[in-house]
Amino acid sequence: MSETTTARTVTDILQPRNTLVAGMVGIGLAAAGDWTGIPWGLLGALCAGLIPAGYIEWERSRGTWGDRHVVDRTKRAPIFFVILGSIGLGSLGMVLGDAPTGILVAMLALWAMTAVLLVVNSFWKISVDSAVASAVPALLAVVHSPWWLLAYVLTIAVCWSRVALTYHTVAQTVAGASLGAATAAAFLVA
């Protein structure tokens, strides 16, 4: 298997949608301490990962973008606004539904991370895939177990794949991963 094929496989399997589905369900479960957190995690996955991915696919079908990576940073702003709105509405639903604090804090941290990604993206192409790949294990480490930090091996794989595919520079992936890791700091103020 060539390096490009391996990088493409890594970036496709660990894309934000997939990472957020698995991660938010785990965060919801850990935040609630039992199965009742799974529906909250699924709501988080829907709002943070699936709705934005659906929007990207819709725009692709309209010919707005060539693929899900939206490599032209000048075309990314609408995606960030969809993510902010979707996570915001999901968070409101969690507040109204009395969701476990941990899943709500994770959603708000992801919202804040997206706001920073939007601002940085206005002048520099920071890696969203690296940010999400870093945020999920950091949040899981806080709400569940520090052992989740071992999943940073996958974060490194995502960063490598983004550089190998020439979608980002090393600096852009490191910045994204650093921002993602910082999302866990939301629990320090919660």
pLDDT of residue 190: 63
pLDDT of residue 44: 97
Q: Which parts of the chain sit beneath pLDDT 70?
A: 190
**pLDDT > 70: what percent of the chain?**
99
> Can you read off the two tokens belonging to residue 79?
């995606």
32: Cβ contacts below 8 Å, ≥ 6 apart:
38, 40, 100, 102, 103
pTM to 2 decimals?
0.94
pLDDT of residue 68: 74
CA distance 83 to 55: 9
Based on its alpha-carbon atoms, the radius of gyration of the chain, rounded to whole angstroms, reads 16
CA 10 to the chain's CA centroid: 15
pLDDT of residue 185: 87
CA distance 156 to 119: 24
pLDDT of residue 1: 74
pLDDT of residue 65: 73
CA distance 190 to 180: 17
Q: Which DSSP string do the residues of 29-82 spell out, in sequence order?
A: HHHHSSTTHHHHHHHHHIIIIIHHHHHHHHHHHTTS-SSTT---GGG-HHHHHH
pLDDT of residue 124: 95
